[in-house]
Amino acid sequence: MINDNNMILKLETINFTLDSTMDANLKPLALYVHVPFCKAKCTYCDFYSIIGREDSIPVYLKRIVEEIERSRETLDLSGHYIDTVFFGGGTPNLLPPAQLEKILDRVLKLTSPGNAMEIGMEINPGEASLENLISYKALGINRISIGMQSFQPHLLKFMSRIHTADKSISTYRDVREAGFENVSGDLIFAVPGQTRTDWNSDLKQLVDLQPEHISTYSLTVEAGTALHRWVDAGHIKMLEDTVDTGMYDWGRNFLEEQGYPNYEISNHAKPGFECRHNLNYWRGAEYLGFGPAAHSYFNKRRHWNIRNLDQYLEQVGETGRGGHAAEIIDLSMEKNEMILTRLRLAQGLNLVEYGERFKENLLESKQEVLQKWARSLSVIDNHLVIGPEGWALTDEISSDLMS
Ligand SMILES: C[S@@+](CC[C@H](N)C(=O)[O-])C[C@H]1O[C@@H](n2cnc3c(N)ncnc32)[C@H](O)[C@@H]1O
Ligand code: SF4
């Protein structure tokens, strides 16, 4: 392993300190709101999302507000401040501003002061009008993530996206016109039928738009999706791993050259524009999720909401709770989770923090594993870091280090 104090990517541009009027002992809390409605189901998507149910939005709003209220009454949040709020989906832009405001207003009242550093939402190209975007901004939303996925018509078609490349561009322009200064674009690569040239062109087109943040996801075949059925039946062949890795590496280098270093495996940002909400997850902050299929992690306990809109609506109506299952996170789970999440970050795993929390010197206790992966790992400034050549192996390395 090499030691190089100059190489560490420091997320120093992100200020995780509180404003001076706040109690320094308060802990950050990330809030997630799941909006499960979509206009069409994409072939690869296994996020909980349903089509043709927009008529249920009014009752969904009523129930989600009840769920938030119930949390406010039952959880002791006095030791926390809300750091980030994220509206994810599904398709959050299917909630017009007045409806989204009802939820935002309630979640921000979970703690006092009711404010957040980052309030983000996902939008689908072509589905949010300029007028609505201006209103979202006026509500306090300050980060927009646009699911562009690709600029190539044949790939958008394969993924059964209902938007065109032109819509991605016009939506991006509208987002800017509405005044958003923190904008992200999502792209998917390693899509069957995609060439290196397609991928290079997608990245170049997105960089030309100059968003602050870019997420690049390798297409994964998730159980229960149309893509899974096609692959299973042999109708579709996914790209070879080497092609996938080649696209990833090219993309990472290209984005770095263009001023978007990757701070997490799939995420690249201009310095200072890393997604604060996701960093909260990856750094082990507590979070509360509302809406069907949302997850929470609070007080060493993780729980999952019901992944079915009707059942969610019924249960919240009866009990105020959306939970379906829960588990207590013991020390060994906490340890594994820390390894898994931190090694995804370019900043790596803080060995001092790990040692203090678990009373274990990882460099000693996992000597053999570290030796096995010596070509991919470095210790930089007391952080265990996976170097660029090992990023494609992150899952294997993490799983070897976990106990
Ligand atoms: C939860 S989706 C919702 C965002 C929004 N509804 C949309 O479709 O743009 C968030 C992002 O996850 C990524 N994603 C979802 N499923 C994926 C898969 N199977 N493989 C790779 N990326 C995926 C897409 O890039 C998408 O923009
Ligand atoms: S990818 Fe987005 S738009 Fe497509 S089904 Fe999933 S959540 Fe809905």
387 vs 274, more confident: 274
Q: Is residue 278's pLDDT more than 70? A: yes
Distance of CA 351 to the CA centre of its chain: 24
Choose the residue to mutate in 49, 127, 149, 162 for probing ligand 2, maximizing ligand atoms within 8 Å of C-beta: 49
Which residue's C-alpha comes closest to atom 2 of ligand 1? 89
Q: Is residue 388's pLDDT more than 90? A: no
> What was the pLDDT predicted at 6?
35
228 CA → ligand 2 middle, Å: 16
Long-range contacts of 300-303 (CB under 8 A, 24+ apart): 300/328, 300/329, 300/334, 301/326, 301/327, 301/328, 301/329, 302/326, 302/327, 302/329, 303/327
Determine contact, residues 119/105, Cβ cutoff 8 Å: no
Q: Which two tokens stand for residue 178?
A: 């509405």
105 CA → ligand 2 middle, Å: 26
CATH number of 14-282: 3.20.20.70, 3.30.70.20, 3.10.20.520, 3.30.160.60?
3.20.20.70
Express each pLDDT in 118-154 by its tens digit.
999 999 999 999 999 999 999 999 999 999 999 999 9
374 CA → ligand 1 middle, Å: 33
365 CA → ligand 1 middle, Å: 38
If pLDDT is split at 50, 70 and 90, which confidence band does 114 have?
confident
Choose the residue to mutate in 47, 222, 227 for probing ligand 2, maximizing ligand atoms within 8 Å of C-beta: 47
Choose the residue to mutate in 35, 38, 220 for probing ligand 2, maximizing ligand atoms within 8 Å of C-beta: 38
Q: Where in the chain is the domain with CATH 1.10.10?
A: 331-401
Q: Where in the chain is the domain with CATH 3.20.20.70?
A: 14-282
Q: Please state, in angstroms and rounded to a whole number, the distance separating the CA atoms of residues 128 and 168.
A: 11
> What was the pLDDT predicted at 23?
76
315 CA → ligand 2 middle, Å: 25
Closest atom of ligand 2 relative to the 149 alpha carbon = 1
If pLDDT is split at 50, 70 and 90, which confidence band does 24 have?
confident
**Ligand 2 residue neighbourhood (C-beta within 6 Å):** 38, 41-42, 45, 47, 49, 89-91, 124, 147
Which residue's C-alpha comes closest to atom 26 of ligand 1? 147
> What was the pLDDT predicted at 391?
83
Express each pLDDT in 189-243 by its tens digit.
999 999 999 999 999 999 999 999 999 999 999 999 999 999 999 999 999 999 9
User: Counting Cβ atoms within 10 Å, is residue 340 exposed (0-12), middle (13-18) or buried (19+)?
Assistant: middle
Long-range contacts of 2-9 (CB under 8 A, 24+ apart): 2/378, 2/379, 3/378, 3/379, 3/380, 4/378, 4/380, 5/380, 5/381, 7/378, 7/380, 7/385, 8/347, 8/348, 8/380, 8/381, 8/383, 8/385, 9/261, 9/263, 9/346, 9/347
Q: Please state, in angstroms and rounded to a whole number, the distance separating the CA atoms of residues 165 and 148.
A: 8
For residues 218-244, b (16+ Cβ closer than 10 Å) or e, as one string? bbeeeeebebbebeeeeebebbeeebb
Determine contact, residues 100/136, Cβ cutoff 8 Å: yes
**Residues 6+ positions from 184 with CB-CB distance below 8 Å:** 143, 144, 145, 146, 211, 212, 213, 214, 215, 269, 275
Express each pLDDT in 46-70 by its tens digit.
999 999 999 999 999 999 999 999 9
Residues of the chain by 3-state class (helix, strand, coil), percent to 5: 40, 20, 35
> What was the pLDDT predicted at 21?
62
**Residues 6+ positions from 152 with CB-CB distance below 8 Å:** 165, 194, 198, 201, 202
In the sheet that holds 2-3, the strands lie side by side as 2-3, 377-380, 383-386, 349-350
Express each pLDDT in 82-92 by its tens digit.
999 999 999 99
The region that residue 126 occupies, defined by phi over 0 for left and psi between -120 and 50 for alpha, beta otherwise, is left
Which residue's C-alpha comes closest to atom 13 of ligand 1? 217
Residue in 172, 42, 35, 156 with CA at minimum distance from that of residue 93? 35
320 CA → ligand 2 middle, Å: 27
HSE toward the beta carbon, residue 246, CA cutoff 13 A: 11
87 CA → ligand 2 middle, Å: 14
147 CA → ligand 1 middle, Å: 7
Choose the residue to mutate in 35, 39, 41 for probing ligand 2, maximizing ligand atoms within 8 Å of C-beta: 41
Query: Which amino acid would we find at residue 61?
Result: L
Report the topology of domain 331-401.
Arc Repressor Mutant, subunit A (1.10.10)
**Ligand 1 residue neighbourhood (C-beta within 6 Å):** 44-45, 47, 88-89, 91, 122, 124, 147, 149, 186, 188, 217, 219-220, 222
Q: Please state, in angstroms and rounded to a whole number, the distance separating the CA atoms of residues 121 and 186.
A: 13
384 CA → ligand 1 middle, Å: 29
> What was the pLDDT predicted at 7?
36
If pLDDT is split at 50, 70 and 90, which confidence band does 2 have?
very low
Give me the mean pLDDT over the 247-267 stretch. 95
